[in-house]
């Protein structure tokens, strides 16, 4: 195992685990620069904290093997590309427009039901049939 004063990168648990699995003479032969590059390479593979982290295996019926699955979910901390930013902005605008549209339709429905409950007819002999359907729900 490499001494802790040889390189600061040996404080990394993943790097220590890798070095412990090597013969001691090989582990001690790494230079500071080599350890630094190993630390960089292993750093990209280190486990991060996720809001949802489910890892499990299950048997395959009628086979002697098992299948594993991993479900990870969390906040995206990466810098978005220009294309991803455009898609994100478009998606947000679409959701806002859909919310406003649904809210407007619901508001109009409520106003129509209030108008019908008060007996106000805007056009004689014309009805959308919503008030009759709504009254039938409460019978």
Average of pLDDT values for 11-15? 75
User: Nearest to residue 16, comparing CAs of 86, 121, 30?
Assistant: 30
Q: For residue 31, is pLDDT > 50? A: yes
Locate the domains of the chain by residue range.
8-43, 82-137
| Residue 30 near residue 38, CB atoms below 8 Å | yes
What pLDDT sits at residue 29? 92
Calpha distance 134→101 (Å, rounded): 22
pLDDT digits (tens, 9 = 90+) for 38-85: 888 776 655 667 788 888 998 888 888 899 999 999 887 888 899 999
What pLDDT sits at residue 122? 83
Quote the mean pLDDT of the chain.
85
Question: For residue 36, how many other CB atoms are within 10 A of its CB?
Answer: 15
The angle formed by the CA atoms of residues 78, 80 and 81, to the nearest 5 degrees, is 135
Calpha distance 80→24 (Å, rounded): 43
pTM of the model: 0.47
Q: Scan for tokens 């039901």, then name that residue.
A: 113
Query: Which position has the higher pLDDT, 125 or 4?
Result: 125
């Amino acid at each position: 195992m490499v001494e802790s004063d040889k390189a600061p990168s040996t404080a990394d648990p993943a790097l220590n685990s890798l070095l412990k699995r090597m013969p001691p003479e090989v582990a001690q032969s790494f230079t500071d620069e080599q350890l630094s590059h190993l630390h960089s390479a292993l750093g990209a593979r280190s486990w991060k904290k996720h809001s949802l982290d489910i890892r499990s295996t299950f048997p395959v019926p009628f086979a002697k093997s098992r299948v594993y699955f991993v479900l990870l979910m969390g906040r995206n901390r990466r810098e978005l590309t220009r294309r991803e930013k455009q898609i994100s902005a478009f998606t947000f605008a679409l959701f806002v427009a859909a919310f406003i549209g649904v809210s407007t339709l619901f508001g109009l429905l409520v106003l129509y039901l209030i108008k019908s409950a008060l007996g106000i007819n805007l056009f004689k002999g014309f009805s959308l049939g919503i008030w009759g359907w709504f009254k039938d729900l409460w019978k």
